Amino acid sequence: MPAPISLLIADSKEIIRAGLRAMLAGTAVNVVGEASNVPSTLTLVKQHKPAVILLDPGLSRGNAFELAVELQKTTPAPKFIFLSAINNPTHMARAKAAGASNFLLMHFIQRELVTAIENAVAGKPVSGTEPFARILLAMETRDLPVAREAGLTPRETQVLSHVALCLSNNEIARSLGISYGTVNVHVRSLLRKLRVHDRTELVVWALRWGIV
């Protein structure tokens, strides 16, 4: 029989933490601790070394996305699943850029949550029609006719989708595995080719033509 999956719940709301713990009771997941903010999450991760962390994007006393990036530098690096009641595409894109395994909206049942945790440990990609899967698709390299007609390369189109999802250049670089300087080059090329003046106008163009 496989060993239980060790898991840490990091959420600012006590009622959410209690609900998740109750939902996971009796499953193959062993909740090793609960954290209510970024500092306590760091402390408990060092103490318990969980395989997976359920993470609130609005975690208090710090930045949950930067926390995810930082903790992936540890050994062993935990997997992350963000949980939120709000369907926020920017939060999902930032979670992807931070290396999250999944981003679940708070309407899942027990089996769906356990499966997501098991898949995170196994390194299985997200699939299906859930909002996070659609965001991942939008952030992939795509050769779209409307972008091609505007003179954009598939990589420039991909960078544009990241800009439209309100990611910073640092987050785009992390998401695509390229340098910050290369992102700057792509953004300048987008401004020139689309004949717009700033990132806000890039976002408007991307939304108008269905890039995201």
Same domain membership, residue 38 and residue 93: yes
The pLDDT, as a whole number, for residue 1 is 61
Q: Does 14 reside within a domain? A: yes
Same domain membership, residue 121 and residue 56: yes
Q: Does 169 reside within a domain? A: yes
Q: Does 134 reside within a domain? A: no
Q: How many domains does the chain have?
A: 2
Q: Which domain holds residue 174?
A: 139-208
Tens digits of residue pLDDT in 100-132:
999 999 999 999 999 999 999 999 989 887 899
Q: Does 46 reside within a domain? A: yes
Place of tokens 């390369």: 153
Tens digits of residue pLDDT in 34-62:
999 999 999 999 999 999 999 999 999 99
Same domain membership, residue 91 and residue 9: yes
Q: What is the mean pLDDT of residues 176-187?
A: 97
Using pLDDT thresholds of 50, 70 and 90, give the confidence band for residue 3. Answer: confident
The pLDDT, as a whole number, for residue 57 is 97
Same domain membership, residue 77 and residue 33: yes
Q: Does 132 reside within a domain? A: no
Q: Does 133 reside within a domain? A: no
Helices (H), ranges, the chain: 14-24, 38-48, 64-71, 89-97, 110-122, 131-138, 145-149, 154-164, 169-176, 180-194, 199-208
Tens digits of residue pLDDT in 126-171:
988 789 999 999 999 888 999 999 999 999 999 999 999 999 999 9
Give the end of a domain, one of 127, 152, 178: 127
Same domain membership, residue 30 and residue 103: yes
Q: Does 162 reside within a domain? A: yes
Tens digits of residue pLDDT in 49-96:
999 999 999 999 999 999 999 998 888 899 999 999 999 999 999 999
The pLDDT, as a whole number, for residue 74 is 86
The pLDDT, as a whole number, for residue 143 is 85
Same domain membership, residue 101 and residue 42: yes
Distance CA 188, CA 199 (A): 10
Give the end of a domain, one of 98, 127, 156: 127
Same domain membership, residue 149 and residue 110: no
pTM of the complete model = 0.91
Q: What's the CA angle centered on 165, arms 162 and 168, to 5 degrees? A: 65
Same domain membership, residue 145 and residue 123: no
